[in-house]
Amino acid sequence: MTDRPHLVIVDDDREIRTLLSQYLEKHDFRTTAVAEGKEMRRVMERSRVDLVVLDLMLPGEDGLSICRELRTRSQVPIIMLTARGEDVDRIVGLELGADDYLPKPFNPRELLGRIRAVLRRAAHAPRDPSPESVRSFAFGNWKLDTTTRTLTDLEGKDVALSGAEYRLLAVLLSSANRVLSRAQLTELLRGREADPFDRSIDVRVSRLRQILGDDARAPQIIKTVYGEGYVVGYNGLDNFRTLFHEPYLSGVLLRTLVWTVGVVVVTMLISLALAQLFNQRFPGRRVARWALIIPWACSVMMTALVFRWALERSAGVINVFLHDLGLVKLGSNQADWLGNPHWAMFWMMLVAVFVSLPFSTYAILSGLQGIPGDVYEAASLDGATSWRSYRHVTLPLLRPAILVATLINIINVFNSFPIIWEMTKGGPGYQTSTTTTYMVSIKQGNVGESASLSVINFALVIVIVIVYLGTTKWKEQVDA
């Protein structure tokens, strides 16, 4: 299933790769095993990766080089494996950016435990405030540049920060509107569990408040949530400013437009054809009409879940059928339809069309049945062909029904959440996210940015509806 964490195992030993893949797959992980760094990069370009298990002793480009290069462009968690147990190797690996280190031979259960621990830490960690993600944070009367690691006031004057103060401020800003406990901050900043009596975080917060001119008795920037931790809360336009720095936002907006237009257009074309068919007399028409109601009667979430299981790469009925035809290999990347962004979008749009058809078809069918028969007789007497009669008589008279069906579909599809969330949760790497799923997943519950995106979402719906109504009104004037 696509919501399982995706691990990439990089090891030149085929037997170790195979054994680790099989073991981790049994424990609800999705794995891709490769022999070298070049293959790892290809995998990371194609799909989202949640953690890399990296062997140190690789032929050609070694694990340390791969780790160093990977850290310059990604914050994906890394666990290094090696048959060399010298302390210097472990120290170098950790300093280059590895999150954990395990010497060979090792117990697979220990590796499993370390993977789960690293993923837990990563789940609480904010996206790295690096030049590749967010170049700067604007808050209050200050700006933090993550490229030069400088703090600047309104007058453009640089304020000195120590390394520890910068890291703490960057972590708090990148997790804006999310409370971080002392334990979480200690683990994020130092990579170790917090001592219950350790007050170093409190001391650093106090220093930052002094630097920022933030009154400790009534702080407006770094706020204390008693019994919980610390939070930087953006207010007003700061939420929008931060939102527009999100690296995935432009792709999400474009994808939302493609998703809405694609699903609505296909749905309306198929609905027109089905309505025309159901308006004719043929054996089994009543059964066919009842069958069309099924997608409407079923829960959208349930329908999405059925398709998600049907597309499961190891045992889904669709993949089993294709496997029997010799088209795919069960469990392969080729069979991972929902792990490929393009195929995932295709299947999700197919499900969206499937659940949208009943309403649109019956709305148009009701319009067809309201057209008087003598109108067609008059058109026939004038020598109109079936196509000309449909184009110049049926479609104009169906315009009110088509208008209502299209508007309802635009609103429903644009705000569609269950299908995408249940099938892919917007992954891999937000590449199947629309605005509705992105506002849920963005920074794991950042209320400020999510609320800002919901405002943008509402505005986009209004714009789309106005454009559609304006176009329809203009078309009516032209026809008149």
Q: Per-residue pLDDT averaged across 374-391, rounded?
A: 79
Q: Answer whether 146's CB lies under 8 Å from 129's CB.
A: yes
- Say yes or no: 199 and 255 in one domain: no
**Interatomic CA distance for residues 452 and 435, integer angstroms:** 11
- Three-class HEC string of 87-125: HHHHHHHHHCCCCEEEECCCCHHHHHHHHHHHHHHHHHC
Residue listed under structure tokens 């336009």:
237
The H or E element that residue 165 is part of is helix 163-174
The token pair at 376 is 């067609």
The answer to which of 206-220, 323-337, 339-353, 461-475 has the lowest mean pLDDT is: 461-475
* 179-190: pLDDT as tens digits: 778 777 777 666
Query: Which band of pLDDT confidence, cut at 50, 70 and 90, is reported for residue 275?
Result: very high
Nearest partner of 278 among 289, 291, 290, judged by Cα: 289
DSSP type of residue 56: S
Query: Which band of pLDDT confidence, cut at 50, 70 and 90, is reported for residue 258?
Result: very high
- What CATH number has the domain bearing residue 174? 1.10.10.10
**Interatomic CA distance for residues 373 and 480, integer angstroms:** 23
Q: Answer whether 292's CB lies under 8 Å from 284's CB.
A: no
* 410-426: pLDDT as tens digits: 888 888 888 988 888 88
431 has a pLDDT exceeding 90:
no
Residue listed under structure tokens 């109109």:
384
Query: Which band of pLDDT confidence, cut at 50, 70 and 90, is reported for residue 110?
Result: confident
Q: Per-residue pLDDT averaged across 48-77, rounded?
A: 82
Read off the pTM: 0.56
- Which residue among 90, 124, 158 closes a domain? 124
* CA 115 to chain centroid: 22
Torsion angle defined by CA atoms of residues 130, 135, 136 and 137, in that order, rounded to the nearest 10 degrees: -60
- Say yes or no: 419 and 440 in one domain: yes
- Which residue among 124, 153, 178 closes a domain? 124
Are β-strands 229-232 and 222-225 bridged in parallel, bridged antiparallel, or unpaired?
antiparallel
- Say yes or no: 170 and 106 in one domain: no
**Interatomic CA distance for residues 101 and 191, integer angstroms:** 13
DSSP type of residue 194: P
263 has a pLDDT exceeding 70:
yes
228 has a pLDDT exceeding 60:
yes
**3 state SS of 30:** strand
1 in any annotated domain: no
- Say yes or no: 224 and 259 in one domain: no
* 284-306: pLDDT as tens digits: 888 998 998 888 888 888 898 89
- CA distances to 17, 20, 31, 35, 251 from 331, in Å: 16, 15, 10, 19, 29
**Interatomic CA distance for residues 350 and 361, integer angstroms:** 16
- What CATH number has the domain bearing residue 83? 3.40.50.2300
Question: What local confidence, expressed as pLDDT, does residue 251 receive?
Answer: 86
Q: Answer whether 435's CB lies under 8 Å from 442's CB.
A: no
- Say yes or no: 339 and 427 in one domain: yes
The answer to which of 159-173, 324-338, 421-435, 438-452 has the lowest mean pLDDT is: 438-452
Overall domain count for the chain = 3
- CA distances to 30, 255, 364, 462, 470 from 466, in Å: 44, 20, 22, 6, 6
* Dihedral sign of CA atoms 394, 398, 402, 403 in order: positive
- Say yes or no: 292 and 425 in one domain: yes
The residues facing 9 across adjacent strands are 33, 53
- Say yes or no: 162 and 13 in one domain: no
* CA 138 to chain centroid: 25
- Domain of 445, in residue numbers: 249-479
The token pair at 347 is 């299947």
Which amino acid does the sequence have at 22? Q
- Which residue among 77, 92, 124 closes a domain? 124
**Interatomic CA distance for residues 256 and 459, integer angstroms:** 13
- Say yes or no: 345 and 471 in one domain: yes
- Say yes or no: 94 and 191 in one domain: no
Query: Which residue pairs, CB below 8 angstroms and at least 24 apart, start in 334-342?
Result: 336/2, 336/30, 337/311, 337/313, 338/1, 338/2, 338/308, 338/311, 338/423, 338/424, 339/2, 339/6, 339/30, 339/47, 339/313, 339/428, 340/46, 340/47, 341/47, 341/428, 341/429, 341/431, 341/432
242 in any annotated domain: no
243 in any annotated domain: no
- Say yes or no: 79 and 186 in one domain: no
152 has a pLDDT exceeding 80:
yes
